Amino acid sequence: DQQVKQNSPSLSVQEGRISILNCDYTNSMFDYFLWYKKYPAEGPTFLISISSIKDKNEDGRFTVFLNKSAKHLSLHIVPSQPGDSAVYFCAGTGGSSNTGKLIFGQGTTLQVKP
Amino acid sequence: KAGVTQTPRYLIKTRGQQVTLSCSPISGHRSVSWYQQTPGQGLQFLFEYFSETQRNKGNFPGRFSGRQFSNSRSEMNVSTLELGDSALYLCASSPGGNTEAFFGQGTRLTVV
């Protein structure tokens, strides 16, 4: 049972344009969501998070949108830069059975072309 | 502030052996969680400790175990290694509760 899904394995965008990475979840107990960026053979780097009481959170070039009714969140990167090329994971947590536990999607590989 | 430190970075073990991985969390963080990353399964939760108590455990066999010390440092142990245990093992620390978790660089375990 995959509770967090990133349906696009890969995404390619031009430098300077917007990157939009999508994530769907099924567990209605989730009340906190996070996005991580990961390079091969390294640990994930935290990017941005959002609580379920909000529908938007911004941090510099990164904005996360949450649509609770659709159980969908997205990460917008504007403008995209070649250094943003990496694998992006979304994760959800919340509910007593998920104490201290992040449930990750399978990741989306973003390539930003110069 | 120093980040999450995992040792060793790389490890090669033989089937049937056991291995212990170490994680030092960010100073002041009381929660340490462990994840396994493999190409086919993505990032899978192993277990989480908070103030020396295991609060949650993922769907892994009993060969996978862990502990947390009073200084919040954590270790995980895998006994009777199998080829399928080859993976990147990641440790994350957080203050506890619904907050961001910060990951270490990981330990790449290869079982031959």
Mutate to test the interface with B, among A23, A33, A102 (most CBs of B within 10 A): A102
The percent of residues in chain B predicted with pLDDT above 70, rounded, is 98
**pLDDT value at B14 more than 80:** yes
Q: What is the pLDDT of residues B22-34, one digit of tens each?
A: 999 999 999 999 9
Mean pLDDT in chain A?
A: 95
- Say whether B48 and A99 touch across the interface (CB within 8 A): yes
- Minimum distance, in Å, between the CA of residue A37 and any CA atom of chain B: 11
What's the pLDDT at B96?
80
What's the pLDDT at B1?
64
Q: What is the pLDDT of residues B43-70, one digit of tens each?
A: 999 999 999 999 999 999 999 999 999 9
Eight-state DSSP code of residue A18: -
Q: Locate the chain A residue with the closest alpha carbon to B93.
A: A100
* Chain B residues inside the 8 Å CB shell of A36: 103
Contact with chain B for residue A102, Cβ under 8 A: yes
What's the pLDDT at B2?
78
